[in-house]
Structure 1
């Protein structure tokens, strides 16, 4: 299954999965609606945590790992680490890029 949505970026740290992350990691947060449908009362145990995905944009593919849930994301959207956003989309001054596709590996 392939998803298409907006790309944004977030401040890294300890997210819903409970993992410490940095801006240098190739990490993403998926939409809250997607993340929560697989979880229980402890988000650290959510099976979405650690899932590998491939992002396709501008004719290139980029690997990433799910480490968080994005409360401001619609279905299909991804929230990227800052460095990953800059590598894939460009300057963070863009803020949001539409039409980015991705899939679980």
Structure 2
């Protein structure tokens, strides 16, 4: 009986998106243009590459370089435009539903002058 209750609770969490990196998120996006090594352990150049930094809340491994989230991409939709970009970095100051896109990725969806855009839908893929 107890095992069934635990399974039911897990199913509810997954359904609500609390235990899964695959549930659609509604939040905001900003952009950055740093270069160097991203949290996933690869060299990045956010001025020229299409990539995304996601909230620290999505990382589950104490060593972010080995985190499974680094094997994912994020599909982002804003005002009818959609792009898919690989997760290559962490945004320590971002809330769970906030993504920080590289400058060219943000520019593919909105003008850079907007800076911080709400009404963005995104989810993890891959």
Same fold per superposition (TM over 0.5)? yes
- Please state how far the C-alpha of 1:50 moved relative to its aligned partner: 2.9
SS of 2:89 mapped into structure 1? strand
Of residues 20, 29, 36, the one that matches 2:53 is: 29
> Which 4+ residue blocks in structure 1 deviate beyond 6 angstroms?
none
Of residues 51, 67, 73, the one that matches 2:94 is: 73
> 1:3 maps to which residue?
25
Of residues 31, 41, 55, the one that matches 2:76 is: 55
- Please state how far the C-alpha of 1:24 moved relative to its aligned partner: 2.4
After TM superposition, the score normalised by the length of structure 2 is 0.74
Task: String of CA shifts for 1:65-98, please: whole Å, max 9, x gaps.
Answer: 111111111111100101111121212x221001
Distance 2:44 2:67 in 1: 17
- Cα RMSD for the two superposed structures: 1.3
Distance 2:95 2:117 in 1: 13
Q: Compare relative contact order (CA 8 Å, sep 6+) and give the higher one, 1 or 2.
A: 1
Query: Which consecutive unaligned segments of at least 5 residues does structure 2 have?
Result: 1-22
SS of 1:21 mapped into structure 2? strand
Of residues 111, 120, 125, the one that matches 1:90 is: 111
> 2:5 maps to which residue?
none
Query: Which consecutive unaligned segments of at least 5 residues does structure 1 have?
Result: none
